[in-house]
Amino acid sequence: MTTQSPIGPTDAAAPADAFAHAAPDAAGAAQGPVAPNAVTAPDAADAAENPDLAATADTSRRSPRLRRLLVTFAPANLGLFLLWGAVPGILLPLQIEGLDPSDKAANLAVVTTIGAFVAMLAQPLAGTLSDRTRSRYGPRASWIVGGTLCGGLALLGLAAANTLVQIAVAWTIVQIAYNFVQGPLSAVLPDRVPTARRGTFSAVVGFAAMLGALGGQVAATGFADHVGAGYVTFAGIALVTLALFVALNPDRDNRAAPRRPFSARALLRSYYFDPRRHPDFAWAFLGRLLLYLGYFVVLNYQLYVLQDYVGLGDDAVDFIPVLGAVMLVTTLIATAIGGPLSDRIGRRKPLIYLAAVICALGLIGPWVTPTTTGMLLFAAIGGFGFGFFQSVDTALVSEVLPAQEDFAKDLGVVNIAATLPQVLAPAAAGAVVVVLGYAALFPVGIVLLLLGGLAVAPIKSVR
């Protein structure tokens, strides 16, 4: 699984109503400290432009609409990330192993690499189509429901697959479908949540994503002898949680909004933004890219680090769940702290700096002490720093998006900064190890992490 950023790791086909309205011929300042229950000037300005924000302009926790959105947003993300944890982490490898145990590693690598590449392309496209959708159900709901239904059908196809080609095709469709869910779902944050509450929402989403990713893997082990039943179960959970979210938080009718035709140029622009016109967004993209690469250059190579650098050999496999449990606990704690804290003090960038430093400190442990203790320090301290970064960075990114009409597309683009490092990290780590040895991984990671933190310094529209 590639851990996608909560906003912020897909749809093979969306409902006819949504796509028809997306088609060309369809009709139609820097933020200072924030008082906990105040509506800031940026919130008021956003609300004037965005009817969804106007409906939730009261940033108080007493706002029924905002409270309902928060309470249902968490399960929606949990249901989606349970699937992301269970399927690529446990069920898909078991299914591929059952086909050909001797070549399971190579076969899994082929299937997951194709899936990761497709996911990276699908989410910006999903955002572009969602942003252009004009429907009585709004720009997001139709894609969330349609992607969930198509993804569930693709999982049924995956359960029935009995050749590697069939598995690869079905998994690719699953990736497309659920990324078409995740892109529009991520856009709910800038669409409907006032600026002063985005840190809290980001923390909740990050918490749900982390809990879902690990919880999905743990729950999926219970389907080791019935992989097909596992696919059906997790598809059902995602369907229920996402359908409830859409039903309880109806999107606004946007059929009267200006029409934006879809063209080949618009398709290409799904994967591009002009850094000269939107420098703050460019710096946020670069910061996320560097920090993720610095973290995953070690995390995605941890099995070999444990085997050869620490010297555990075959026992390394048994130690990875221990590291995972420690990392989960500290990441969840940090996620719960970072977002709300950034809301309370009305600042994002200083907390990004702090998160990068904490992550870097986590890499010092195994660099200085190539032991299990050193790796536990990496899991605990690095996990805390990464969770802290995710919850604050999600809020920061939501405030530097280039244009309201392209929220979902831009979120899809910035999520490439989260998925691409996870694809590149193993190759980059391998090159470092071959040339300089295992010990060099840690200073390389530290430098990347610190550069990632400093990259947000030039951002002017967010403090």
- Whether 401 and 315 share a structural domain: yes
- Whether 301 and 343 share a structural domain: yes
Whole-number pLDDT of residue 126: 81
User: Do 81 and 212 touch, CB atoms closer than 8 A?
Assistant: yes
Interhelix angle 164-186/64-86, nearest 10 degrees: 160
- Whether 43 and 116 share a structural domain: yes
- Listed residues 269, 292, 320: the one ending a domain: 269
Residue 321 lies in a domain: yes
Residue 236 lies in a domain: yes
Domain of 357, CATH number, reads: 1.20.1250.20
In three-state form (DSSP H/G/I as H, E/B as E, the rest C), the secondary structure along 268-310 is HHCCCCCCCCCHHHHHHHHHHHHHHHHHHHHHCCHHHHHHHHH
User: Do 26 and 187 touch, CB atoms closer than 8 A?
Assistant: no
Residue 36 lies in a domain: yes
- Whether 395 and 430 share a structural domain: yes
Report which of 147, 174, 183, 176 is spatially closest to residue 18, judged by C-alpha positions: 147
Residue 463 lies in a domain: no
Distances (CA, A) of 329 to 89, 202, 209, 324, 333: 19, 18, 13, 9, 6
User: Do 412 and 185 touch, CB atoms closer than 8 A?
Assistant: no
- Whether 285 and 233 share a structural domain: no
- Whether 353 and 443 share a structural domain: yes
- Whether 221 and 300 share a structural domain: no
Whole-number pLDDT of residue 194: 87
Q: Over its length of 463 residues, how does the chain's per-residue pLDDT go in tens digits?
A: 445 554 444 333 333 333 333 333 332 322 333 322 223 333 444 444 455 554 444 444 457 888 899 899 999 999 998 998 888 878 888 898 899 888 876 788 788 778 878 887 887 788 778 877 788 888 888 999 999 999 999 999 999 999 999 999 999 999 999 989 988 888 888 888 887 888 888 778 878 887 887 788 778 878 888 999 999 999 999 999 999 999 999 888 877 777 767 666 666 665 666 778 889 989 999 999 999 999 988 887 787 788 889 999 878 877 878 888 898 899 889 988 988 898 889 899 999 999 999 999 999 999 999 999 999 999 999 999 999 998 899 889 888 877 666 666 667 677 778 777 766 776 688 788 888 999 999 999 999 999 999 999 999 998 8
Neighbours of 415 (CB within 10 A): 28
What distance in Å separates the CA atoms of residue 117 and residue 99, rounded to the nearest whole number? 23
Kindly state the DSSP code that residue 313 receives in the 8-state scheme: G
- Whether 224 and 284 share a structural domain: no
Whole-number pLDDT of residue 9: 40
Domain membership of residue 233 as a residue range: 16-256+264-269
Cβ partners under 8 Å of residue 348, min gap 6: 199, 342, 392, 393, 395, 396, 399, 456, 462, 463
- Whether 212 and 288 share a structural domain: no
Distances (CA, A) of 258 to 22, 24, 61, 133, 255: 12, 12, 33, 10, 8
Residue 103 lies in a domain: yes
What distance in Å separates the CA atoms of residue 288 and residue 452, rounded to the nearest whole number? 6
Residue 3 lies in a domain: no
- Whether 163 and 206 share a structural domain: yes
- Whether 145 and 289 share a structural domain: no
- Listed residues 269, 292, 326: the one ending a domain: 269
- Listed residues 247, 269, 291: the one ending a domain: 269
- Whether 174 and 286 share a structural domain: no
Number of domains in the chain: 2
Neighbours of 67 (CB within 10 A): 13
Residue 161 lies in a domain: yes
Residue 449 lies in a domain: yes
Kindly state the DSSP code that residue 90 receives in the 8-state scheme: I
DSSP assignments along 233-272, one per residue: HHHHHHHHHHHHHHHHSPPPP-TTSPP----HHHHHHTT-
| Pair of tokens at residue 65 | 């609409």
Neighbours of 260 (CB within 10 A): 18
User: Do 134 and 26 touch, CB atoms closer than 8 A?
Assistant: yes
Cβ partners under 8 Å of residue 225, min gap 6: none
What distance in Å separates the CA atoms of residue 155 and residue 91, rounded to the nearest whole number? 11
> What contacts 24+ positions apart, CB below 8 Å, involve 340-344?
340/199, 340/200, 340/203, 341/199, 342/199, 342/391, 342/392, 342/395, 343/34, 343/36, 343/196, 343/197, 343/198, 343/199, 343/200, 343/395, 344/34, 344/36
| Pair of tokens at residue 98 | 């059952």
CA within 13 Å, CB half, 176: 16
pTM of structure: 0.67
Neighbours of 39 (CB within 10 A): 17
